[in-house]
């Protein structure tokens, strides 16, 4: 009886050790720091490789869902990708909804558990870059050209919606250097703004920002552009 009991103990110990080892492999392959980054209405899922990965041979599989849904959906463009990011802009296009995403690793025949994001609400996390401005001087007036940061073509109900439908508002400010006075001179959707009736032999600086009224979200100020009126 003793030899049989010893053999049984060794076998059980081997199986338990193998199980723990397999579990450890799953854990060390698990993607790290899975999170969304939302910028200029682009919602990009990012992650880092698992602790056990030392090269770029792993494949990653991405799923997403809306809060309250039971079924996860495969992101076909990121199903078996070797990138460490996945563009989920179209799948998370409603800025006030709640979303989740998750990533799994497959490497050398082994696979990890899913690694899930925390709750993602684009409205809370979105950042907007400031517009880029160019100034053309015309006598005693200035033409200010405003260039929008790169925005995606928003998709709603299967239709492409142009960038103008993000309802972005430009705010243009002028600073009179002599008086050290700042003034809001324009607020609206036009991308070219004319500023007139400027004082000769004075210096002015122009800055602008973008504002999204529905989300009450604004960008930082652009870099100032300065000119001297002759």
- Let me know whether 67 and 120 are in one domain: yes
Looking at per-residue pLDDT, the higher value among 6 and 179 belongs to 179
CA distance 210 to 173: 12
Weakest mean pLDDT among 7-16, 52-61, 200-209: 7-16
Write down the mean pLDDT value for the chain: 83
Domain with 173, as residue range(s), is 132-229
- Let me know whether 107 and 165 are in one domain: no
- Let me know whether 73 and 137 are in one domain: no
Rounded mean pLDDT, 94-101: 92
- Let me know whether 73 and 141 are in one domain: no
- Let me know whether 22 and 87 are in one domain: yes
5-40: b (≥16 Cβ within 10 Å) or e: eeeeeeeeeeeeeeeeeeeebbeebbbeebebebeb
Q: Give residue-wise pLDDT tens across range 60-91.
A: 999 999 999 999 999 999 999 999 999 999 99
Per the DSSP assignment, residues forming a β-bridge with 141 are: 138
Residue 109 pLDDT greater than 90, yes or no: no
68-90: b (≥16 Cβ within 10 Å) or e: eeeeeeebeebeebeebebbbbe
CA distance 168 to 150: 13
- Let me know whether 105 and 169 are in one domain: no
224: CATH: 2.60.40.10
End-to-end Cα spacing for the chain:
108
pTM here? 0.74
Residue 145: per-residue pLDDT: 95
């Amino acid at each position: 009886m003793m030899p049989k009991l010893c053999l049984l103990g060794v076998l059980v110990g081997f199986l338990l050790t193998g199980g723990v080892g397999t579990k450890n492999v799953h854990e060390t392959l698990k993607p790290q720091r899975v999170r969304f980054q939302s910028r200029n209405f682009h919602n990009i899922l990012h992650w880092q490789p698992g602790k056990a990965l030392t090269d770029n041979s792993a494949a990653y599989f991405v799923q997403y869902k809306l809060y309250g849904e039971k079924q996860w959906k495969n992101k076909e463009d990121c199903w078996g990708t070797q990138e460490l990011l996945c563009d989920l802009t179209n799948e998370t296009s409603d800025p006030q909804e709640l979303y989740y995403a998750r990533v799994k690793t497959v490497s050398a025949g082994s696979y990890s558990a899913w690694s899930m994001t925390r709750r993602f609400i684009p409205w809370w996390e979105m950042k907007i870059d400031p517009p880029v401005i160019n100034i053309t001087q015309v006598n005693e007036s200035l033409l200010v050209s405003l260039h929008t940061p790169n925005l995606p073509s928003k998709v709603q109900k299967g239709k492409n919606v142009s960038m103008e439908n993000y309802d972005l508002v430009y705010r243009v400010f002028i600073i009179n250097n002599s008086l050290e006075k700042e003034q809001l001179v324009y607020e609206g959707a036009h991308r070219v703004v004319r500023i007139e009736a400027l004082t000769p032999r004075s210096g002015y600086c122009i800055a602008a920002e973008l504002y999204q009224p529905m989300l009450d979200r604004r960008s930082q100020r652009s870099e100032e552009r300065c000119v001297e009126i002759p």
